[in-house]
């Protein structure tokens, strides 16, 4: 019996806080999961993530299957030992690559060309489960079909139907797979684009399969924020309250707070670290563009209100220098700051919910970052 469940300790409207309990332990929600696509968050190591207080890190099945191979990860002790990370891990199935890479989708699965050498790769609901069993994350995701938005009704209908059928195949295979780690959880994924009726249908069909948790996919892929929030509002009432609700691929401050207000528990996104590598800094007062020349002689920290190690030790002028000369150290130091900001925002959300003042935090974030 899988022990994964949500213990809700406080609510404020539809927002909620508590802990997700797993076979490994537990982690607090709402939570943000840094993205370590190839087994590492770009420019950071596991010690950096531990120091930041991250609880869950995401890795990508598609990339790890290609390099170094799921079997190699398994032979080297599984994802935790392989990466030196003792916290929780979650692996995306590769379904997002249906959206982001050139692929051929049929009723049985997906065919890709490797981004590394062009070799043909085949992924089915069953092989995605098997690969993630070998990789050994605490939580694996079903293979789904993620459609770029806007999309025609027929494209969305096909995505919902295929995702539902694949979810059933993945669930059955996961339950009988002997190679998966004991206690490894499997999340289903809800699709449907911005069509409320399709979202409701997809949620109902997915919940009927009794997954350990539920991802909400196919959003933040071209639609407006109001359309995304409407789709979320149509989905969440149909998901069970005792299972985690995971909005995939969202990481902007306003999007995070608005989704938490609707009852989402966890998130992932590459944006904070990608922005850091390009000099876009997340701050309590809004976004700062560090490449701007005005910062060249600034001896102050990136954000005077931030307690991260980057802000405590190095000046804007020095960090800008590293960035403009292409010194990779800049990527690490700025990524540490941006992740500290997002992880800190989630900690603020948890406290605000517990104290019954989440709407005030939500309004403050909207004022700073734009509604």
Q: What is the pLDDT of residues 285-317, one digit of tens each?
A: 999 999 999 999 999 999 999 999 999 999 999
Helix (H) or strand (E) holding 96: helix 96-100
Cβ contacts of 244 within 8 Å, gap of 6 or more? 4, 6, 20, 29, 187, 212, 213, 214, 265, 266
Note whether 129 and 140 are within 8 A (CB).
yes
pLDDT of residue 317: 98
Q: Give me the pLDDT at residue 96, please.
A: 74
Residues in the chain: 371
pLDDT at 356: 98
For 283, the domain range is: 276-364
For the segment 124-157, what is each residue's pLDDT rounded down to a tens digit? 999 999 999 999 999 999 999 988 899 999 999 9
Compute mean pLDDT per 10 residues along the chain, 371 residues long, and list them: 85 98 97 97 98 98 94 98 98 77 88 87 94 96 92 96 97 90 95 97 98 96 95 98 97 97 98 98 96 98 97 98 98 98 98 98 96 57
Those residues with Cβ within 8 angstroms of residue 124's Cβ, 6 or more apart along the chain or in another chain: 108, 109, 110, 143, 169
Instruction: Tell me, yes or no, whether 238 and 260 share the same domain.
Output: yes
Out of 269, 297, 317, a domain closes at 269
Same domain, yes or no: 236 and 281: no
268 catalytic residue (yes or no): yes
Pair (285, 199) in one structural domain: no
Three-state secondary structure of 146-165? CCCCCCCHHHHHHHHHHHHH
Domain identity same for 10 and 80: yes
Q: Which among 331, 350, 348 is positioned nearest to 281, based on CA atoms? A: 331
Q: Active site residue: 12, 48, 55, 92, which one?
A: 92
User: Could you say which of 225, 240, 269 is where a domain stops?
Assistant: 269
Quote the number of domains for the chain: 2
Last residue of some domain: 269, 295, 311?
A: 269
The catalytic residue among 55, 144, 268, 303 is 268
371 occurs within a structural domain: no
Q: Which of 221, 224, 273, 214 is nearest to 247 (CA)?
A: 214
pLDDT for 370 equals: 86
Residues 18 and 100 in one domain: yes
pLDDT of residue 52: 98
Q: Say if residue 317 is in the same domain as residue 186.
A: no
Domain-located, residue 172: yes
CATH of the domain at 222: 3.20.20.105
Q: What is the pLDDT of residue 103?
A: 81
Q: Is 252 a catalytic residue?
A: no
Q: Are residues 57 and 101 in the same domain?
A: yes
pLDDT given at position 100? 67
Q: Which residues lie closer than 8 Å to 354 by C-beta, 6 or more apart? A: 9, 10, 17
pTM: 0.96
């Amino acid at each position: 019996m899988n022990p994964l469940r949500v213990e809700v300790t406080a609510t404020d409207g539809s927002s909620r806080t508590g802990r997700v309990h797993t076979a490994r332990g537990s982690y607090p929600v709402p939570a943000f999961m840094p993205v370590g696509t190839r087994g590492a968050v770009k420019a950071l190591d596991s010690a950096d993530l531990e120091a930041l207080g991250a609880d869950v890190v995401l890795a990508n099945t598609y990339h790890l299957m290609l390099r170094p191979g799921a079997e190699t990860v398994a032979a080297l002790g599984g994802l935790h030992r392989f990466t030196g990370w003792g916290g929780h891990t979650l692996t995306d199935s590769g379904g997002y690559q249906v959206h982001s890479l050139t692929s051929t989708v049929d009723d049985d699965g997906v065919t890709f060309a490797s981004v590394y050498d062009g070799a043909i790769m085949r992924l089915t609901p069953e092989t995605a489960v098997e690969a993630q069993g070998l990789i050994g994350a605490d939580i694996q995701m079903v293979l789904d079909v993620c459609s770029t938005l806007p999309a025609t009704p027929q494209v969305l209908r096909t995505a919902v139907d295929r995702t539902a059928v694949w979810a059933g195949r993945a669930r059955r295979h996961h339950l009988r797979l002997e190679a998966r780690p004991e206690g490894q959880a499997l999340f289903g994924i809800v699709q449907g684009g911005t069509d409320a009726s399709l979202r409701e249908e997809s949620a109902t069909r997915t919940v009927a399969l009794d997954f350990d948790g539920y991802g909400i996919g196919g959003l933040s892929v071209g639609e407006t924020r109001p359309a995304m929030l409407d789709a979320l509002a149509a989905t969440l009432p149909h998901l069970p309250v005792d299972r985690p609700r995971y909005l995939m691929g969202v990481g902007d401050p306003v999007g995070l707070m608005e989704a938490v207000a609707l009852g989402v528990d966890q998130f992932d996104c590459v944006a904070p670290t990608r922005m850091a590598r390009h000099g876009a800094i997340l701050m309590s007062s809004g976004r700062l563009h560090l490449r701007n020349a005005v910062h060249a002689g600034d001896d102050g920290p990136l954000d005077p209100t931030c307690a991260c190690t980057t802000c405590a030790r190095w000046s804007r002028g020095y960090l800008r220098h590293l960035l403009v000369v292409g010194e990779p150290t800049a990527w690490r130091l700025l990524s540490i700051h941006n992740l500290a900001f997002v992880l800190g925002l989630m900690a603020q959300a948890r406290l605000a919910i517990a104290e019954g003042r989440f709407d005030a935090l939500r309004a403050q974030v909207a004022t700073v970052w734009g509604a």
